[in-house]
Amino acid sequence: MTLDIQSLVQRHHGDGSRLVQILRDVMEVAGHVSPPVITELARALSLPRARVEGVVGFYSFFEAEPRGRYRVFFSDNITDEMAGSHELRQRMLDAFRIELGEVSRDDLVSIRSTSCTGLCDQGPALLVNDRAIARLTPARLGAISSLIRGGTPMHQWPENLFSIASHVHREDRLLSTALAPGEGLDAAIARGRSATIAEITESGLRGRGGAGFSTGTKWAACANAAGPERYVVCNADEGEPGTFKDRELLMHHAEKVLEGMTVAAFAVGASVGLLYLRAEYPFLIAPLLERLAERRRVGLLGKAVRGVAGFDFDIELHVGAGAYICGEESALIESLEGKRGIPRNRPPYPVTHGYKQKPTVVNNVETLAAAALVTRHGADFLRSVGTPKSTGTKVHSVSGDVARPGIYEYPFGVTIHELLEAAGAKDTQAVMVGGPSGVLLSMRELSRRICFEDVPSAGAFMVFDGTRDMLGVIDNFARFFAHESCGFCTPCRVGTTLNAQMIKRITSGTGTRRDVKDLARVSQIMKDASHCGLGATAGNPIAMAIAKFRPSFDKRLRSLDVLPTFDLEESLAPAREATARDDVDAHFDEEHR
């Protein structure tokens, strides 16, 4: 397929705010976004060239240079690592005789890592040209390598390679309650706009993405904001390692989510909905587009929805390009506007100055599904279960050292122990609730409850048994945050890198007690001074691990309080390689003398 920039731009109506979507199309056709293409896009969209180049450089799945016909990304999430992803990755690297990050000499393939593919219940997993493949084994990896080596077009690959399983082990009222298309909306229309918001508020529905803000309060603020133009955004960018509940909801309960978006639009007076899907879920694009087309066909989207004069509403699907930070609502809005996903200063908040600086409601996938059911069944649908401050149920993504990884829905207030028992966990040493930015619990805390009053959770639930080295787990988390920092503010940009470097020194056996002290100090500075929540929470697992798993650190430490951070022996390695020397005089350390 030939890349025609002018036709591509026209297909997107010359709208510069769709730059991320345009660049995705360029990647699909050309495999990279070359400097001449960047220049031509900037001209066609009337954008500064630096802006287009900056967007290309920001997102992990955009390439400015050719990376081979097949671009392979292995998931580097801790649960994939525990399942053997690193060994499988090395096997593939050896098969193609390249190093991590390199392109093969014949420009056939490149192999790299990505933070998480959202397939933690069926890892190890990888992406090939943005298509997800789960349940990797040596045999499956061999088949993939053979297909790549033979140059087989991906549309000719066996479809069973791309199958994504559904592991739902416990349903409660959100997953088990059926909702016919239009049921929630009809109830909202009968109730009226203000009464619908009041019902959502009365239900106690709080954001299921982790922050726990009152959904009714958010909708009311947007409805009361000045100006006629409003938007509803569904945040389906669940990039937190260990989280995959939104994948399940969009695969099998998309109607509830789309209904929730439409109900929200009716309640606040929005005319446009934007569903922002994470890039690692390409298998959801076609089914979601089909759902949207069907809703338009039956009058649930479009002009005068359900015959209500003036209620014109439609939903657009936007797909990300690999940036964890875009899970933060203001960074997500920046991405929707075709920009780098840099979080905004707040206030003002999105409810008054969101997408295109207009009043905008941003809700999580699970929140919108729950809102649709509350609208249909009333406030007691949530209030009758859960706790006084955490009404309803929570959908959990359970992975790691459990016999039955997958989806578990429980009323708020369930104990950690109950969840572990249901998933078949044995000899549990630690649980990471809410992903790396959440709460690290030791085996002595398993009686604690999942609710906003005790342990809040965005849905991730990673389990580590007694065989796991907790320092290795923390090392994975530290590398994740260093990679995913957007780089905007110094505390996060520098702090995450320093933390990753210090953890690496400790794991390699060259760290000191001073490193442990500095880890705690840097993490606190990041918490106090970072621009957004990523930096503020990036030190959470480190601080909690030091407090709860200190022996994992101490057994790796050198006896001295301070050691030079500059390693002269290591710095000589490039010179030895360049001069083909490995004799005693080419080394500095005592081992070689």
pLDDT on residue 581: 83
- Residue 559, in any domain of the structure: no
Domain boundary among 383, 414, 431: 383
Q: Based on the domain organization, do 278 and 342 belong to the same domain?
A: yes
pLDDT on residue 593: 47
Residues with Cβ within 8 Å of residue 299, at least 6 apart in sequence? 305, 306, 307
d(CA 334, CA 332): 5
Q: Based on the domain organization, do 403 and 428 belong to the same domain?
A: yes
pLDDT of the chain, 593 residues: tens digit per residue: 689 999 999 999 999 999 999 999 999 999 999 999 999 999 999 999 999 999 999 999 999 999 999 999 999 999 999 999 999 999 999 999 999 999 999 999 999 999 999 999 999 999 999 999 999 999 999 999 999 999 999 999 999 999 999 999 999 999 999 999 999 999 999 999 999 999 999 999 999 987 899 999 999 999 999 999 999 999 999 989 999 999 999 999 999 999 999 999 999 999 999 999 999 999 999 999 999 999 999 999 999 999 999 999 999 999 999 999 999 999 999 999 999 999 999 999 999 999 999 999 999 999 999 999 999 999 999 999 999 999 999 999 999 999 999 999 999 999 999 999 999 999 999 999 999 999 999 999 999 999 999 999 999 999 999 999 999 999 999 999 999 999 999 999 999 999 999 999 999 999 999 999 999 999 999 999 999 999 999 999 999 999 999 999 999 998 656 555 566 677 778 778 778 888 887 887 655 54
Count helices and strands (H / E) in the chain: 26, 14
CA neighbours within 13 Å on the CB side: how many for 80?
32
Rg of the chain, C-alpha, whole Å: 25
How many domains does one find in the chain?
A: 5
- Residue 582, in any domain of the structure: no
Report whether 141 contacts 85 (CB < 8 A): no
Backbone angles phi, psi at 131, to 5 degrees: -100, 135
Q: Based on the domain organization, do 314 and 229 belong to the same domain?
A: yes
Q: Based on the domain organization, do 259 and 377 belong to the same domain?
A: yes
Q: Which domain holds residue 453?
A: 393-468
pLDDT on residue 567: 67
d(CA 178, CA 256): 9
Q: What is the CATH number of the domain that holds 520?
A: 1.20.1440.230
- Residue 211, in any domain of the structure: yes
Domain boundary among 121, 136, 160: 160
Residue reference for tokens 């933070």 = 115
Report whether 419 contacts 393 (CB < 8 A): no
- Residue 579, in any domain of the structure: no
Q: What is the CATH number of the domain that holds 128?
A: 3.40.30.10
Q: What is the CATH number of the domain that holds 404?
A: 3.10.20.600
Joined together, the tokens standing for residue 73 give 């990304």
| Exposed e or buried b per residue across 306-326, where buried means at least 16 C-beta atoms within 10 angstroms of its C-beta | beeeebebbbebbbbbbbbbb
Domain boundary among 422, 441, 468: 468
The residue among 259, 197, 208 whose CA lies nearest residue 235 is 208
pLDDT on residue 566: 60
Residue reference for tokens 């619908």 = 196
Q: Based on the domain organization, do 436 and 511 belong to the same domain?
A: no
Amino acid in the structure at residue 430: A
- Residue 22, in any domain of the structure: yes
Q: Are strands 360-364 and 460-465 parallel, antiparallel or unpaired?
A: unpaired
| Exposed e or buried b per residue across 74-100, where buried means at least 16 C-beta atoms within 10 angstroms of its C-beta | bbbbbbbbbbebeebbeebbebbebee
d(CA 1, CA 27): 12
d(CA 91, CA 89): 5
CA neighbours within 13 Å on the CB side: how many for 319?
20
Number of residues in the chain: 593
Report whether 288 contacts 275 (CB < 8 A): yes
pTM of the model: 0.92
Q: Based on the domain organization, do 250 and 350 belong to the same domain?
A: yes
Q: Based on the domain organization, do 187 and 154 belong to the same domain?
A: no
- Residue 585, in any domain of the structure: no
- Residue 569, in any domain of the structure: no
Question: What's the DSSP call for residue 44?
Answer: H
- Residue 580, in any domain of the structure: no
Q: Based on the domain organization, do 446 and 479 belong to the same domain?
A: no
Q: Are strands 126-128 and 70-75 parallel, antiparallel or unpaired?
A: antiparallel
Q: Based on the domain organization, do 175 and 321 belong to the same domain?
A: yes
Report whether 218 contacts 371 (CB < 8 A): no
Q: Based on the domain organization, do 149 and 298 belong to the same domain?
A: no
d(CA 278, CA 237): 4
Angle at 531 between CA 78 and CA 484, to 5 degrees: 25
Q: Based on the domain organization, do 189 and 337 belong to the same domain?
A: yes
Q: Based on the domain organization, do 113 and 144 belong to the same domain?
A: yes
DSSP string, 543-564: HHHHHH-HHHHHTT--SSS---
Amino acid in the structure at residue 127: L
